[in-house]
Amino acid sequence: MDNQIMPREQLGICAEGNLHSVYLMFNANDGVEDQLRPSIASVAQYIYELTDQYADSAFNGFVAIGANFWDTYYPNARPALLKPFPAMNEGNRDAPAIEYDLFVHIRCDRFDILHLVANEINQMFEDLVELVDEERGFRFMDNRDLTGFVDGTENPKGRNRQQVALVSDEDPEFKGGSYIHVQKYAHNLSKWHRLPVKKQEDIIGRTKQDDIEYASEDKPLTSHIKRVNLKDSAGNSMEILRQSMPYGSIKEQGLMFISSCKTPDNFEQMLRSMIFGDGHGNHDHLMQFTKALTGSSFFAPSLDFLTQWDE
């Protein structure tokens, strides 16, 4: 692939938020790689074309390949930094790894379209894969997490989304791709709602109603935004693009946390800081109110990479 030309990215990676989402996690059946490659290409192309067809409803999506499945999918080369989900645990803070071979992420402002497309994609994979998990996400109020706090405020904006999320010249074969991490967090909302609002705000590090960031000196070291707002050794902000949405029903509900980034290291260091803290016992107190049920690592290659096997 020409180094100078940016391959076409899958449009769902950097898209703006939507009203609805569907998450499909698949595992590949044994020995079907040769048929699966063109099938993945068709699904990615189909999603890309629907982005135009359903532009009025802001349809978008992407297909990502699991870290543990990558070498089976494409034995010739591997995205330089692709590795399994960094499972970690400390005290009662747990980030388990549950890996899947394929992740299809589709979003739209019309749920009927998503339902139709999800069925179609499932059929396109025929009997090559098994659908092992499925969730539906939704916009809650004015872009709030189910804790009632606005989520996504400090996300990269405009073209900076691409700069944060997409691999560039550092890994030419995988340019335009993105490292994806997914964690399904089930919230303990009855416990959360028993907290006075000021205590909730101290845990997030922002006000609840108006979503105003605390002044630096007022941010508890155990607040979520203190723990994830990190700088690298050169003093630059470490950023990720979050595409999370609330999911679930009355029995189990929470946040489908989705990070996309040009490197997997930023997510890993943030998660480390949340779970292990700052070395002085200051870990993320948000973790007392939510539990990660899954943790999966993927790479979402450019559309041009995926469609080299198009039928």
- Positions of E strands within the chain: 20-28, 60-66, 88-90, 93-95, 102-108, 129-138, 178-187, 241-242, 245-248, 253-261, 290-292, 296-300
Contact pick of 89, 153, 160, 308 for ligand HEM (by CB under 6 A): 153
Q: How far is the CB of 274 from ligand HEM (least distance, A)?
A: 6
Q: How far is the CB of 283 from ligand HEM (least distance, A)?
A: 13
Longest alpha-carbon distance in the chain: 58
Are the C-beta atoms of 180 and 246 separated by less than 8 Å? no
224 binds ligand HEM (CB under 6 A): yes
Contact pick of 104, 255, 258, 303 for ligand HEM (by CB under 6 A): 255
Please state the separation of Cα 177 from the chain's center in Å.
Answer: 14
Structure tokens at 250: 């009355």
Contact pick of 14, 44, 166, 225 for ligand HEM (by CB under 6 A): 225
Are the C-beta atoms of 296 and 181 separated by less than 8 Å? yes
- Binders of ligand HEM among residues 184 to 203 (CB under 6 A) are 185
| C-alpha pair distances (Å), 196 with each of 9, 192, 201, 211 | 44, 9, 9, 16
DSSP state of 57: G
Q: How far is the CB of 288 from ligand HEM (least distance, A)?
A: 11
Helix (H) or strand (E) holding 49: helix 33-53
164 binds ligand HEM (CB under 6 A): no
Is 49 exposed, middle or buried (CB count within 10 Å of its CB: 0-12, 13-18, 19+)?
exposed
Query: x/- contact string, 168-187, with ligand HEM (CB under 6 A)?
Result: ---------------x-x--
154 binds ligand HEM (CB under 6 A): yes
Coil, strand or helix at 65: strand
- Binders of ligand HEM among residues 260 to 289 (CB under 6 A) are 267, 270-271
Closer residue to ligand HEM, CB minimum distance, 175 or 227: 227
Q: Closest-CB residue for ligand HEM?
A: 154
Q: How far is the CB of 27 from ligand HEM (least distance, A)?
A: 24
Residues 6 or more apart in contact with residue 47 via CB below 8 angstroms: 10, 11, 12, 60, 61, 62, 63, 104, 106, 117, 121
Closer residue to ligand HEM, CB minimum distance, 119 or 153: 153
Catalytic residue flag (residue 101): no
- Binders of ligand HEM among residues 92 to 151 (CB under 6 A) are 145, 147, 149-151
From CA 55, how far away is CA 108, in angstroms rounded? 9
Q: How far is the CB of 29 from ligand HEM (least distance, A)?
A: 31
Q: How far is the CB of 265 from ligand HEM (least distance, A)?
A: 11
Given 2, 101, 145, 151, the catalytic residue: 151
- Binders of ligand HEM among residues 48 to 77 (CB under 6 A) are none
Cα Rg for the chain, rounded, in angstroms?
19
Tell me the number of residues near ligand HEM by CB under 6 A: 23
Q: Per CB under 6 A, which region of 83-91, 98-106, 192-200, 224-232 contacts ligand HEM?
A: 224-232
Residues in the site for ligand HEM, rule: CB under 6 A? 145, 147, 149-154, 183, 185, 204, 206, 224-225, 228-229, 240, 255, 257, 267, 270-271, 290
Residues involved in catalysis: 151
